Structure 1
Amino acid sequence: MTSTDIRTLLDRDPAVLVLEDGTRYAGRAYGARGRTLGEVVFTTGMTGYQETLTDPSYAGQIVLQTAPHIGNTGVNSEDPESRRIWVAGYIVRDPSRVVSNWRAEGSLDDQLASSGVVGISGLDTRAVTRRIRSEGSMRGGVFSGADAELDADEQLRIVREAPQMAGRSLSQEVSVSETEVTPAVGERIGNLAVIDLGIKQATVENLARRGFDVHVMPQDSTAEQIRAIDPVAVFYSNGPGDPAASDAHVELLRGVLRDGIPYFGICFGNQLFGRALGFGTYKLPFGHRGANQPVLDKATGRVEITSQNHGFAVDAPLEEIVDSPEGFGRVEVSHIGLNDRVVEGLRALDIPAFSVQYHPEAEGGPHDANYLFDRFRDMVVDALSKKGTHA
């Protein structure tokens, strides 16, 4: 490290992370200066920080990277998963002093600053992670610049007045404002209605490669607007927020299922599918976020290493086939999380519909679950053949 590098690190403005239980962690400013508030969560991915930052599922959350070195490969215009950075704030231990990658077009620090994302570096991220694991995800604030000089009691008051994630609806903040269409690649199957609750670009590309004309539609789309594109299936994307605060999406999905339209949902779409079937959802203590979550596919007995980002889960029986409380026939839990026995997938046995809690399209890796897009394609083709129709 050169003397210039040392001065650069020492010259960073002081910053502080304040948790709602009163715990404080001193560090140095990273990215934009100011204050930011949100639910503090941690993610265990060692790569793919650019995909993490641009995942709309992280809206409203201050994201801590458990991997100590962040920013090594810089940033580029090819890896983002959406049109902007969505995290409310960013926490890292050791930001890279230099950018070293042939694809880099800039530094992560500069992009965070230009995007107005307030971050903090140089603190003990392991200690923060252990705090969250023992006490659960909680509201927090990052304060830097002039806000770092606020009285500690004032900073804590500001944090405790921030909204809770439970009961919060964020779909309207991350969804497209008008429908965007991506044409099918290869043999065309038909139009796919995608309700954008915080979709990632990799999802759109994976669906298009399976032969769907992908219509990414606003989160407040109506049943009439869905029917207007004559869809062969409906897809609910990942996204942020509490599924219990999305009753309109649940009612829309129940109409889709009653019409016999094939359905596939991921992450938030899994939770909404569970509620549409009549099951409850609940908040996890600290959620699943990262690229190393083991999941059992009950149909094959195979264990997949999956990428996940969620703080809520479906409450459904793990080992038995049950009748849907809302009258959609038999339902089974298709996938189970092996760390904590959380529902990771649902499959309806009497209608063409299934969902998974994790992210099968995760471009930052792993890719064990890409087969689910093929499973969805096969389900839609089978449903069309039974109807005697095909686009």
Structure 2
Amino acid sequence: MSVSPQTPPPGATAVLVLADGSIYWGRGAGAEGTAIGEVCFNTSITGYQEIMTDASYAGQIITFTFPHIGNVGTNFEDIETKTPAARGCVFRADITEPANWRAVGHLNGWLQAQNLVAITGVDTRKLTRHIRDGGAPTGVIAHASDGTFDIPALIKEAKAWPGLEGMDLAKTVTCAQTYPWDGEADWSLEHGYATQDKQGVHVVAVDFGAKLNILRCLAAAGCKVTVVPATATAEDILGHKPNGVFLSNGPGDPAATGEYAVPMIKDLIANGLPMFGICLGHQLLSLALGAKTKKMHMGHRGANHPVKDLATGKVEITSQNHGFVVDGDALPDGVTATH
């Protein structure tokens, strides 16, 4: 079921409506109701639970380009945040029964428990080409078991949504208060997540929507990690006497989040603290150094994006998830592109 007239075909219990009037019929999955957001696509073959719980997807509806979904079920370990921030999901095939020894639940039941609205049976190849050619559109997923939909109202709702530009979404996904990371580090087949007992340098991680695995990686590297909210001031951070500061990933427009984050970062730079940023954190650090950011046509989301080290010529395969980018044509003096 793909782009079609406004009359639902037999068996349709869900619909994806785009702001340009495109209609994709399908079958409902997960929670009933509606979900609105920017429609993007992710090209990863697996890791769907990590993707859906990545806070960087706040305000977005995720299209999975790989057709099969649900085969490894869900569990309590493969999550990046406790509460998913994504608005909804689009799948090609119906959700399959789990066939993995680590599974403790069915993906559809997990979607319902997380109140995530989803649609299956969509021609995701056609939808992905639509996004590629026209840019990431606003869309609405509606899931109703009785198959009753008000298509004109859904199109109107999609057109009225303001879009991600200008949105500060980090405040909606950051932690409420400062806390010490408990040392959870590397995962192993036999023991699950290990605890890092030996802690060396002290790193303060600013949570703009931090993925749990990034905090685990810091712990696995031997760091003592203190996590602070996105709105923490430089004074707050310096009060922890860190050896360095990590600026996490996160959702939304970096320019909007930068209204309060950039002054904090500038103060930390003035204090000479080593800093490292990923995703939104990298973009905020760039803004603090005088660079500019801009919205991408369709973003980069997947587990196999090649990146070239300009100094060595080496090409590395990276996992990416971002819809904004630092403008490489507007770098200030003293700032050099490395990749």
Calculate the TM-score normalised by the size of structure 2.
0.90
1:31-83 CA-partner distances (Å, limit 9, x unpaired): 11110100000000001001001100001100000000010110011111111
Q: Deviation of residue 177 (structure 1)?
A: 0.5
Distance 1:147 1:156 in 2: 20
Kindly tell me: are residues 238 and 13 of structure 1, through their superposed partners in 2, closer, same or farther at Cα, counting changes over 3 Å? same
Q: How far apart are the structure 2 equivalents of 1:217 and 1:53?
A: 23
Asked if the contact 2:13/2:146 (under 8 Å) is kept, the reply is no
Partner deviation per Cα, 1:257-310 (whole Å, 9 max, x = no partner): 111000000011111111111111111100000001000122332111111000
Q: What are the equivalent positions in structure 2 for 1:172-251 lying under 5 Å apart?
A: 172-182=171-181, 185=196, 187-246=198-257, 247-251=259-263
- Residue 87 of structure 1 and its aligned partner are, at CA, apart by 1.1
User: Partner of 1:332 in structure 2?
Assistant: 336
Q: Which amino acid aligns with 2:323?
A: G
SS at match of 1:260: coil
1:311 equivalent in structure 2: 323
Secondary structure of the structure 1 residue equivalent to 2:25: strand
State yes or no: 1:92 paired with 2:104: no
Amino acid at match of 1:156: I
Q: 1:200, 1:18 → 2: CA distance?
A: 30
Q: Displacement, 1:222?
A: 1.3
**Contact 1:17–1:140, Cα closer than 8 Å, also in 2:** yes
TM-superposition CA deviations, 1:318-349 (whole Å, max 9, x none): 9xxx754xxxxx221111xxxxxxxxxxxxxx
What is the CA–CA distance in structure 2 between the aligned matches of 1:43 and 1:50, rounded to whole Å? 13
Structure 2: which 5+ residue stretches go unaligned? 1-8, 184-195
More helix per residue: 1
Match of 1:386 in 2: none
Residues 291, 332 of structure 2: 8 Å contact kept: no
Measure, in 1, the Cα distance between the counterparts of 2:284 and 2:140. Answer: 29
Higher RCO (C-alpha 8 Å, min separation 6): 2
Q: 1:262 aligns with which of 274, 291, 307?
A: 274
1:115: how far off? 1.1
After superposition, residues 63-74 of structure 1 pair within 5 angstroms as 63-74=62-73
Q: 2-side partners of 1:311 and 1:223: how far apart?
A: 27
- Deviation of 1:190 after TM superposition, in Å, equals 2.7
Root mean square deviation, CA, Å: 1.9
Q: What is residue 253 of structure 1 aligned with on the other side?
A: 265
Change in CA separation of 1:188 and 1:299 when aligned onto 2, cut-off 3 Å = farther
In terms of mean alpha carbon deviation, does 272-281 or 94-103 score higher?
Answer: 94-103
State the one-letter code of the partner of 2:228: M
> Contact conserved, 1:234 with 1:264, CA < 8 A, in 2?
yes
1:186: Cα distance to partner? 6.0
For residue 187 of structure 1, report the CA deviation from its aligned partner: 5.0
Measure the CA separation in 1 of the matches of 2:84 and 2:156.
27
What amino acid maps onto 2:318 in structure 1? T
Name the CA distance, whole Å, in 2 between partners of 1:291 and 1:71. 18
Q: Is the 8 A contact 2:65 2:125 kept in 1?
A: yes
Given that 1:35 and 1:147 are in contact with CA atoms closer than 8 Å, whether structure 2 keeps it comes out as no
Contact 1:186–1:209 (8 Å) recurs in 2? no
Amino acid corresponding to residue 212 of structure 1 in structure 2? C
292-301 vs 280-289, greater mean Cα deviation: 292-301
Could you tell me which amino acid in structure 1 is paired with residue 156 of structure 2?
A: R
Normalising by structure 1, report the TM-score.
0.78
How much has 1:212 moved relative to structure 2? Answer: 1.5
1:370 corresponding residue in structure 2: none
Amino acid corresponding to residue 258 of structure 1 in structure 2: A
Q: Return closer, same or farther for 1:309/1:147 CA change in 2, 3 Å cut-off.
A: farther
Matched ranges for 1:1-391 at <5 A:
14-145=13-144, 149-182=148-181, 185=196, 187-246=198-257, 247-317=259-329, 324=333, 330-335=334-339
Contact 2:300 2:322 in 1 (8 A): yes
* Partner deviation per Cα, 1:114-171 (whole Å, 9 max, x = no partner): 1110110011011110000000001100012179623321110111112311111101
3-state secondary structure, aligned to 1:70: coil
Q: Match for 1:235: what amino acid? A: F
Contact 1:57 1:240 (8 Å CA) reproduced:
yes
Unaligned runs of 5+ in 1: 1-9, 325-329, 336-391
State the distance in 2 between where 1:218 and 1:313 align.
Answer: 23
One-letter amino acid matched to 2:152: D
The separation in 1 between residues aligned to 2:145 and 2:162, in whole angstroms, is 23
- Matching residue of 1:349: none
